[in-house]
Amino acid sequence: MSVTVFPVRLLLVSFFMLLAWPFAFTASLGRSEFAIEPQSWWRRFVDLCLRVIMRVMWFCGGFHWIKVKGERAAPSEVPILTVAPHSSYFDAIPVTMTMCSIVTKLESRSIPCLCFGQIQDSRRKTVEEINRRAQSGGEWPQIMIFPEGTCTNRSSLILFKAGAFIPGLPVQPVVLRYPNKLTKPTDVSSRFKILWLTLCQPHNPMEIEYLPIYTPSNEEKENPALFANNVRKLMAKALEVPLTDLSFDDREISLSQGPLRIYDYCSLLEFNQLHGDGRIDIRHFVIALSTVHRPSKSMETLKLAFKMYESAENGDILEEDLATILEIMLGVRDVELSGLFLSLDRPDTEKITYDELHHFIEQHPYFVQNYLDFKDHPRKFCIGRPKSCNGQNHNKG
């Protein structure tokens, strides 16, 4: 397929993409980035031409028929469509089928078929424009927004941005499904791989489901974050996927790697959600904040933590303090360090310096798996010999 179907499809897709560009360019002539007046009749005619061209393009790419469930509401009834999950550039299919206005990054204006009908520029201006168009009574096309704000692997729904929900008007949730065994969700990190596998597959199934209109309560109108979260719960239920309390700005947390990678980011994010008279040891907050904002520099965070806990005499810290530090950095509970101190051949010593621990971690890349124990440790879910989990058994006395 790579040497027969793929090049032919790639050529056809490229041709129709280029064919769409002059139509989109023509429709954008004389329009400012924030046009005040709605579309004229001839711009709507160009929209129709673009729909046809782009549908043929998707057909050439293997999306021969697209299953649509539910009914799309009229712009006068629902001005905003919220779409999720956002996982690849094939999510543009519902955009080209409806020719809704979309919220996109400024650099996306270079994409031929998307240079018309965008809402761009600063966040403040974008929100203002969304609000203005949403309250136009259907004079403008519907606004289609991917509230996650970034691509994910479709395994869960991350936190929604509030832009689509600030106007406090009814929205229609739209969920996307790709019942495709070849292009798996984990391929989201490789754009070329997604394109290659998709164009090689004889047929690419896709489902678009329009869920019932969601009308916000008075409380949700006053609280866009609550509005967004309730819509997210509804869409996650329809998709049968869990919720993940990560946002676009927290994306690096889920990508943390190394011997002190984060195991459970939810407990870390709780440090940013203190309410009322909630109190916390400022050292704990600093460690959590450093971990969240510098997930790839865990050793620097560890060194910072040692400076806050170490004794003035010889720079060592107590075992219980090290356990607290690791619980925060790893996002786990009930860290047990007996395996570490036994491996250091210092069972009678309950103190350690940063240099000693740093050297030990460098020598043992599977430090957490092999020498720590905590609640829900990965080792506890392994079947078979301990070495299958890169771990060792450390008997506690």
Gap between the Cα atoms of 226 and 165, Å rounded: 9
70 secondary structure, DSSP code: S
pLDDT of residue 388 exceeding 80: no
Assess whether 288 and 222 both reside in one domain: no
Q: In the listed set 206, 228, 244, which residue is the last one of a domain according to the structure?
A: 244
Query: Which range has the top average pLDDT, 96-100, 179-183, 256-260, 380-384?
Result: 96-100
> β-strands 101-103, 118-119: how paired?
parallel
Say which residues have a Cβ less than 8 Å from residue 133's Cβ, sequence separation at least 6.
79, 101, 119, 140, 143
Cβ contact 302:329 at 8 Å: yes
In the predicted model, what is the mean pLDDT of residues 201-222? Answer: 94
Domain count, the chain: 2
Dihedral sign for Cα atoms in the order 142, 148, 150, 154: negative
Q: In the listed set 229, 244, 259, which residue is the last one of a domain according to the structure?
A: 244
Mean pLDDT taken over the chain: 80
Assess whether 200 and 103 both reside in one domain: yes
Is 394 contained in some domain? Answer: no
Gap between the Cα atoms of 307 and 61, Å rounded: 57
Gap between the Cα atoms of 163 and 157, Å rounded: 17
Q: What is the domain range of residue 310?
A: 251-389
pLDDT of residue 34 exceeding 50: yes
Q: Which residue, among 137, 114, 133, 115, has the nearest Cα to 125 in the 3D structure?
A: 133
Gap between the Cα atoms of 188 and 190, Å rounded: 6
In the predicted model, what is the mean pLDDT of residues 74-79? Answer: 89
Distance set, CA 298 to CA 288, 294, 304 (Å)? 11, 7, 10
Lowest mean pLDDT of 154-158, 272-276, 326-330, 342-346, name the range: 272-276
The pLDDT score that the predictor gives to residue 240 is: 92
Q: Provide Rg for the chain, Cα atoms.
A: 26
Tokens 């957490």 belong to 368
Q: Which residue, among 69, 239, 227, has the nearest Cα to 157 in the 3D structure?
A: 239
Phi first, then psi, for residue 297 (nearest 5°) are -120, 55
Query: Identity (one letter) of the amino acid at 64?
Result: H
The pLDDT score that the predictor gives to residue 392 is: 42
Lowest mean pLDDT of 74-78, 177-181, 216-220, 361-365, name the range: 177-181
Assess whether 32 and 157 both reside in one domain: yes
Burial 149-176 (b: 16+ CB within 10 A, else e): bebbebeebbbbbbbbbbbbbebbbbbb
Assess whether 148 and 213 both reside in one domain: yes
Gap between the Cα atoms of 111 and 54, Å rounded: 13
Assess whether 169 and 24 both reside in one domain: yes
Assess whether 204 and 289 both reside in one domain: no
Whether the link from the prior residue into 85 is cis, omega within 30° of 0, is yes
**pLDDT higher at 291 or 173:** 173
Lowest mean pLDDT of 32-36, 137-141, 177-181, 384-388, name the range: 384-388
The pLDDT score that the predictor gives to residue 308 is: 94
| Chain Cα centroid distance, residue 326 | 26
The pTM of the full predicted model, rounded to 2 decimals, is 0.65
The pLDDT score that the predictor gives to residue 383 is: 43
pLDDT of residue 128 exceeding 90: no
Gap between the Cα atoms of 295 and 254, Å rounded: 9
CATH number of the domain encompassing residue 26: 3.40.1130
Could you give the percent of the chain with pLDDT greater than 70? 76
Gap between the Cα atoms of 335 and 327, Å rounded: 6
pLDDT of residue 138 exceeding 80: no
38 secondary structure, DSSP code: -
Q: How do residues 218-228 score in pLDDT, each as one tens digit?
A: 999 999 999 99
pLDDT of residue 3 exceeding 80: yes
